[in-house]
A and B are shown apart, each in its own frame.
Chain A
């Protein structure tokens, strides 16, 4: 049996609302990155902007996928309740439809999220060799999509990528002691914790709520960072 939704019943829909906040935050940072690129005309700003744009798109796809699954799931429950009138093939086709939405939506979500993190990490670590970057992307994608435990593999890879991004931001903050660098470091620390928490969803679905809340707070700190930097 495939577990399609990790969210507990009472939290369904609220998680999508949280992710809309994350999506808006990433879009704002991406927009700001493009603005800086326009001003300075240096590729590194464009790459940072694209990394946040990829993460924003990943959340947009996750929200649409989750809402579609919740909607289809409710429809399925109704047809099961109105019951015996429903025939078996109708219910089976509904389940297949939900699974297809899940696989397609989450495939795109995982791809864009990892792509965003890889682009960000390669920019801050100054990986300019495109061959190294492409190997990096291919291996992450293969591991996240074609492994048997793709859910856990995806969150483990995200955790590792976020750990190195956080470490870089922390070292940068230790040297420069800037307020804005501190917000960025806190934000990525919380995002790292949230990915780590998502790995342990198997123990209890309430853990998913904790992961989502931590992620939301991480993105709210990033939103605060955006306002402090862009409104100077």
Chain B
């Protein structure tokens, strides 16, 4: 089934959260199931909205989830439960 925008954002943020809050770009590309171009568009948007950050550790690039990103995941869970319980 085709995912909508907030589902994709949730998948990206949840992928980072599941890796203890930081993930390498290659892992994120694999986990988010998006094209390289699309993933970069989403990352740029999420960084701009302060839901994730970029950090360099020993020449490696990592994406880190912020508190706002964690809050998004929590709100998404509520929305999903509401949607599924109502069968919407």
- Which residues of A approach B to under 8 Å, CB–CB? 32-33, 36, 39-40, 44-45, 48, 123-124, 168-169, 171-172, 176, 178, 180-181, 183-184, 225, 229-230, 232
Contacts and interface: CB of A to CB of B under 8 A. Distances in A.
B86 A48 contact: yes
8 contacts: A39-B79, A48-B88, A176-B84, A180-B82, A180-B84, A181-B87, A225-B85, A229-B78
A181 B88 contact: no
Given A124-B87, A229-B82, A232-B77, 6 more contacts: A36-B78, A169-B86, A178-B85, A181-B84, A184-B85, A230-B78
A53 to B, nearest CB: 15
Given A39-B75, A40-B6, A232 B81 contact: yes
Contacts, number: 55
A124 to B, nearest CB: 6
B33 to A, nearest CB: 21
A232 B74 CA distance: 7
A124 B87 CA distance: 7
Given A40-B6, A232-B74, A184 B79 contact: no
A184 B86 contact: yes
A30 B6 CA distance: 22
A225 B75 CA distance: 16
Contact of B79 (A36, A171, A172): A36
B34 to A, nearest CB: 20
Contact of B81 (A45, A168, A172, A178): A178
A118 B76 CA distance: 27
Contact of B85 (A33, A40, A171, A180): A180
Contacts of B87: 124, 168-169, 171-172, 176, 181
Interface in B28-81: 74-79, 81
A216 B9 CA distance: 40
Contacts of B83: 36
